[in-house]
Amino acid sequence: MSAEEGPKPPTEAELAEMDRDQLLKLGGKLDGVEIVDYPEPWPVKGTRAERRAERLVAFWFALSALAGLAFVVSLIWWPWQYKEPNDERGAFLYSLYTPLLGITLGLAILGLAIGVLLYTKKFVPAETAVQERGDGGSKEIDKATILAHLADAGNRSTIARRSLIKRTAGAGAGALGLAAAALPVASFIKDPWKNSDNKDSLWHTGWQPAHPGEKVYLRRNTGKPEEIVLVKAEDLDAGAMETVFPFRESERHDEHALSQAFKRSDNPVMLIRLRPTDAARVVKREGQEDFNFGDLYAYTKICSHVGCPTSLYEQRTNRILCPCHQSQFDALHYGKPIFGPATRPLAQLPITVDDQGYLYARGDFIEPVGPAFWERKS
Ligand code: FES
């Protein structure tokens, strides 16, 4: 039976007079719905089974709330910074950081979902009805009757008097909301402006002197962090390239600092010795005319596109190649990009030698290295 063939719809005044039960029946009639069965989920109130069902639902909501809070606490306070394997406890705690975030957030979502499912299954009445499909959009009368129907279902599910379920569901949803809000906020907890002069800040690399006058030497990587091999100008043949890392005397006996210098992503530098005929054709960048030492030029190894290591130097063309997306940089032209997606020159490190001929950096890069830092000025 379609709505058009059903009983005469009531007037607006009659509609306003009707209570929820009447609206419920009217809605059924108008839509040609026949309710075959509409049992109360708990016809006898306060049974042990009902209380057990209530506790079960509350358990999942409470679990969701606890897991949500645990996620926020882990996200902010768990020791997340990398620790060397020889620091057993530190490395173990660090290794738990990501799994902990996944487990707690997963549990919070799962607990809330299972709580809602169980509540619906145990407390929302499941009617059995048969309805013919009608044509056209919803009319006012349909909206009023369906609202009555939904309100009735809520009423029959006895949510109003189940304060334990309401409280735990609220706590679960609240903790999950807190976790969702903490995610974008947490990324701002590390203040990029804090200690901006420090080599560990986002503004600097490991080449930043810790104090005025400190010489940060160019160091070869022999594969053994404790083996210090500094580089002299004559160590490189014309047309050669070597990757070097920062070394400071104050770290000579600090195993951790020595190995960290190799690991920090913006530390590697390509030291290139141009052939004399090529060196005569060099075009220097304004303000960086004295960054080289003779035929030696030091460019960051971090590609200005998306940060891959630009580890290929082609002696014949003096091009530096990035294997990731094939950007090419001209070593004779202050490392400016001449092919591929990179748009910024490779940052150049100012270098010179001490009185024994060892190469050192006269300071940090004067522009951002690689693409990573979003507050760049160039
Ligand atoms: S990262 Fe070097 S070209 Fe894309």
Question: Is residue 2's pLDDT more than 60?
Answer: no
Distance CA 161, CA 157 (A): 9
Q: What is the mean pLDDT of residues 198-207?
A: 81
- Which run of H or E residues covers position 307? none
Across 4-30, average pLDDT: 77
User: 312 forms bridges with which residues in the sheet?
Assistant: 321
Which atom of ligand 1 lies at the shortest distance from residue 322's CA? 2
* CA 275–ligand 1 middle distance (angstroms): 26
318 Cα: distance to centroid of ligand 1 (angstroms): 18
Q: Kindly give the number of the ligand 1 atom that is closest to the alpha carbon of 327.
A: 3
* Cα 242 from Cα 311, distance rounded (Å): 9
What are the tens digits of pLDDT across the range 333-355?
999 999 999 989 999 999 999 99
Nearest atom (ligand 1) to Cα of 310: 2
- For residues 81 and 112, what is the distance between their CA atoms, to the nearest angstrom? 31
DSSP output for 221-284: --S-TT---B-BGGGS-TT-EEEEEEE-GGGTT-HHHHHHHHH-TT--EEEEE--HHHHTT--P
Ligand 1 atom with minimal separation from the 307 CA:
1
Q: What mean pLDDT comes out for the span 165-173? A: 88
Q: Which two tokens stand for residue 118?
A: 């169980």
Give the mean pLDDT of 70-81. Answer: 89
Check residues 76 and 219 and name the one with the higher pLDDT.
219
Q: What confidence category does residue 31 fall into, taking pLDDT thresholds of 50, 70 and 90?
A: confident
Q: Determine the distance separating the centroid of ligand 1 and the alpha carbon of 300, expressed in angstroms.
A: 13
Least confident window among 84-93, 197-206, 237-246: 197-206
| Higher-confidence position of 188 and 93 | 93
- At how many degrees (to 10) do helices 140-156 and 20-30 cross? 130
Q: Is the pLDDT of residue 370 over 80?
A: yes
> Which residue ranges form the domains of the chain, and what is each CATH number?
3-186 (no CATH), 216-361 (2.102.10.10)
Atom 4, ligand 1: residue with shortest CA distance: 325
338: DSSP letter: E
The Å distance, Cα 306 to ligand 1 centre, comes to 5
What is the whole-number distance in angstroms between the Cα of residue 319 and the centre of ligand 1? 14
pLDDT reported for residue 153: 81
Say how far apart CA 299 and CA 365 lie, in whole Å.
Answer: 9
Q: How far is the CA of 369 from the centre of ligand 1 (A)?
A: 13
Q: What is the pLDDT of residue 328?
A: 96
Of residues 190 and 295, more confidence is placed in: 295
The three-class DSSP label of residue 36 is strand
Q: Which atom of ligand 1 is nearest to the CA of 342?
A: 3
Report residues whose beta carbon is within 6 angstroms of any ligand 1 atom.
303, 305-308, 322, 324-325, 327, 340-342
Q: How many CB atoms lie within 10 A of CB 108?
A: 27
